[in-house]
Amino acid sequence: MESFIIEGGHSLSGTITPQGAKNEALEVICASLLTPEEVRIKNIPDILDVKNLILLLTDIGVDVTRISRNEYSFKAENINLDYLESDEFIRKCASLRGSVLMIGPLLARFGKAVVTKPGGDKIGRRRLDTHFLGFKYLGAKFLHNDERNTFEINGKELKGCYMLLDEASVTGTANIIMAAVLAKGTTTIYNAACEPYIQQLCHMLNQMGARISGIASNLLTIVGVDSLHGTEHKILPDMIEVGSFIGMAAMVGDGIRIKNVSLRNLGIIPDAFRRLGVKIDTEDDDLIIPHMDHYEIDSFIDGSIMTLADAPWPGLTPDLLSVLLVVATQARGSVLFHQKMFESRLFFVDKLIDMGAQIILCDPHRAVVVGHDHNVRLRAGRMTSPDIRAGIALLIAAMSANGTSRIDNIAQIDRGYEDIEARLNNLGAKIERIS
Ligand SMILES: CC(=O)N[C@H]1[C@@H](OP(=O)(O)OP(=O)(O)OC[C@H]2O[C@@H](n3ccc(=O)[nH]c3=O)[C@H](O)[C@@H]2O)O[C@H](CO)[C@@H](O)[C@@H]1O
Ligand SMILES: C=C(OP(=O)(O)O)C(=O)O
């Protein structure tokens, strides 16, 4: 298992460009299963989760060609459905949350899929009810295999219908869309997730011949078609990586430009950092975060203490609360973080408390941070990355700390951040990877 050794106290300056979005990549790569024709995808991030998904697609027979570092072509002409029955398939799915996104396309095109417990972050219960309910609405039948603890899903004749989702699940919506594009008749999905990566998936599917309308809203209408054809698609910049870089620039930056961020698709993210007092300028599609000696947390108009809470898009993504929380540890003022969507994502704050941050963990969902206003620096420490976003938050904390820190289990960070130490070292950080 690899670790990072981080020498704290170096300020970062210069320009950094975000990678392609992990969560969009997982969706659109799986969408290539919907056609026997070639699908070319640009700006694919070179990260562990995506590499694992591509290996899984290769295993089931997709012809994958790497055209350049971040561009691939996928041709799902000869799919080996028997592989779905293998123990190896179950084992590989268990290491990757994104594997769940293969179900919708497999069901749509081949009338069959196998579901096992997917991997991903250990950030609380991650139920698949919305996915299952959506497939059932379309007419799929589920059979539990007690011996293997898997569900076999059969859906030879999926039929479009109206459905109201129990919650606006992101991967649930993506999966149902991909199942519905080849179903008979019209599917209407209400309470659909509508974040930019779902929008991108819909645009790509329409390029392939699908008929999806209502894109960017929570009411999608999908008129089923008989088949889809190949296409070319480019993945958006990763908004969570952009947010992580804003947090890093606020904590240890001496003037950072984040290039080509696709500002329109960042939604409320820059404003959430501004609420903590972080100054963010924009120039074309770049964000510029100047050096700040101090930043002060806003209060609400009635004078009450600031609360930052996650919510489904266009609300604040839960994936950035850990980074925002670290930034708050050095702000002037206090703020309540309310992680509503996940159950165990705030526990990493005990590591920040060990480093000297002033945080009260009220319960699994809420933490109050009382900022140091840069009067006290965090102390270096040894920690383990519990999940991808806590991992990057701890990395930022370690870069700002006094002394040399060590972060273990950095595979969690590698799941979602491409070549992170080299890119940050280019800006002046001192991070070494050891095994
Ligand atoms: C591979 C991928 O794309 N992963 C993302 C996807 O995960 P994923 O699609 O697995 O997450 P879901 O949207 O299904 O749900 C995330 C959590 O939010 C809760 N929930 C969801 C919707 C809602 O209206 N109310 C609510 O409370 C769910 O119960 C769950 O605890 O979306 C999450 C929420 O943006 C992100 O953290 C993940 O990075
Ligand atoms: C929770 C995340 O990822 P996953 O859904 O892949 O576990 C994330 O990207 O923050």
In the numeric block, which tokens belong to residue 64?
């994958």
Query: What pLDDT is recorded for position 1?
Result: 86
The whole-number average pLDDT for the span 108-134 is 79
Q: Which of 175, 201, 234 is the last residue of a domain?
A: 234
Tell whether 156 and 249 lie within a shared domain. no
Tell whether 323 and 297 lie within a shared domain. yes
Can you give the residue range of the structural domain that contains 163? 22-234
Tell whether 225 and 245 lie within a shared domain. no
Residue 151: band (very low, low, confident or very high) from pLDDT cuts 50, 70, 90: confident
Tell whether 168 and 250 lie within a shared domain. no
Does the annotation list 23 as a binding residue? yes
pLDDT at 194 over 70: yes
**In 3D, which of 30, 220, 54 has the Cα closest to residue 108?**
30
Query: What pLDDT is recorded for position 156?
Result: 87
Calculate the average pLDDT of the chain: 95
Rounded distance between C-alpha atoms, residue 22 and residue 236, angstroms: 9
Ligand 2 atom at minimal distance to the Cα of residue 119: 7
- Report CA dihedral (351, 355, 356, 359) to the nearest 10 degrees: -20
In the numeric block, which tokens belong to residue 339?
């992680």
Query: Rounded to the nearest whole angstrom, what is the distance from the C-alpha of residue 375 to the centroid of ligand 1?
Result: 37
> What 3-state DSSP class applies to 272?
helix
Rounded distance between C-alpha atoms, residue 63 and residue 214, angstroms: 33
Tell whether 91 and 214 lie within a shared domain. yes
Tell whether 225 and 92 lie within a shared domain. yes
Contact 348, 394 (CB under 8 A): yes
The runs of H, that is alpha helices, within 181-262 are 196-207, 239-252
The whole-number average pLDDT for the span 131-138 is 96
Question: Is any atom of ligand 1 closer than 6 Å to the C-beta of 244?
Answer: no
The whole-number average pLDDT for the span 41-62 is 96
Contact 337, 355 (CB under 8 A): no
pLDDT at 122 over 90: no
Residue 330: band (very low, low, confident or very high) from pLDDT cuts 50, 70, 90: very high
Q: Tell me how far CA of residue 299 lies from CA of 199, 246, 414, in angstroms.
A: 33, 21, 36
The whole-number average pLDDT for the span 26-32 is 98
Contact 220, 212 (CB under 8 A): yes
Q: Which of 209, 234, 259 is the last residue of a domain?
A: 234
Query: What pLDDT is recorded for position 158?
Result: 97
Rounded distance between C-alpha atoms, residue 293 and residue 286, angstroms: 22
Q: Which of 203, 234, 265 is the last residue of a domain?
A: 234
Ligand 1 atom at minimal distance to the Cα of residue 340: 27
pLDDT at 124 over 70: no
% pLDDT > 70, the chain: 98
Residue 119: band (very low, low, confident or very high) from pLDDT cuts 50, 70, 90: low
Query: What pLDDT is recorded for position 316?
Result: 98
The whole-number average pLDDT for the span 140-151 is 85
Rounded distance between C-alpha atoms, residue 389 and residue 327, angstroms: 13
Rounded distance between C-alpha atoms, residue 341 and residue 345, angstroms: 9
Tell whether 285 and 400 lie within a shared domain. yes
Does the annotation list 97 as a binding residue? yes
Question: Is any atom of ligand 2 closer than 6 Å to the C-beta of 54?
Answer: no
Catalytic residues: 121
pLDDT at 164 over 60: yes
pLDDT digits (tens, 9 = 90+) for 216-270: 999 999 999 999 999 999 999 999 999 999 999 999 999 999 999 999 999 999 9
Q: Which stretches of 28-161 are assigned E, i.e. beta strand?
A: 38-42, 63-68, 71-75, 112-115, 141-145, 150-154
Tell whether 184 and 252 lie within a shared domain. no
Pairing of strands 382-384, 286-289: unpaired
Q: Say yes or no: ipTM exceeds 0.95.
A: yes
Please, what's the b/e burial string for 31-41 (b: 16 or more CB within 10 A of its CB; e: otherwise)?
bbbbbebbbbb
pLDDT digits (tens, 9 = 90+) for 338-375: 999 998 899 999 999 999 999 999 999 999 999 999 99
% pLDDT > 90, the chain: 88
pTM value is 0.97
Does the annotation list 341 as a binding residue? yes
Cβ-based neighbour number of residue 302 at 10 Å: 5
Tell whether 172 and 272 lie within a shared domain. no
Tell whether 211 and 320 lie within a shared domain. no
Ligand 2 atom at minimal distance to the Cα of residue 96: 6
* CATH number, domain containing residue 332: 3.65.10.10
How many independent structural domains does the chain possess? 2
Query: Rounded to the nearest whole angstrom, what is the distance from the C-alpha of residue 123 to the centroid of ligand 2?
Result: 9
Residues 216, 189, 345: CA angle, nearest 5 degrees: 70
Question: Is any atom of ligand 1 closer than 6 Å to the C-beta of 170?
Answer: yes
Positive or negative torsion for Cα 86, 92, 94, 96: negative
Tell whether 222 and 241 lie within a shared domain. no
149: alpha, beta or left, given left = phi > 0 and alpha = psi -120 to 50?
Answer: left
Question: Is any atom of ligand 2 closer than 6 Å to the C-beta of 388?
Answer: yes
Tell whether 157 and 42 lie within a shared domain. yes
pLDDT at 120 over 60: no
Residue 123: band (very low, low, confident or very high) from pLDDT cuts 50, 70, 90: low
Contact 90, 53 (CB under 8 A): no
Query: What pLDDT is recorded for position 261?
Result: 98
In the numeric block, which tokens belong to residue 146?
């007690």
Contact 405, 10 (CB under 8 A): no
For ligand 1, atom 19: residue with the closest CA: 341
pLDDT digits (tens, 9 = 90+) for 166-187: 999 999 999 999 999 999 999 9
Residue 121: band (very low, low, confident or very high) from pLDDT cuts 50, 70, 90: low
Rounded distance between C-alpha atoms, residue 306 and residue 205, angstroms: 40
Pairing of strands 3-7, 404-408: antiparallel
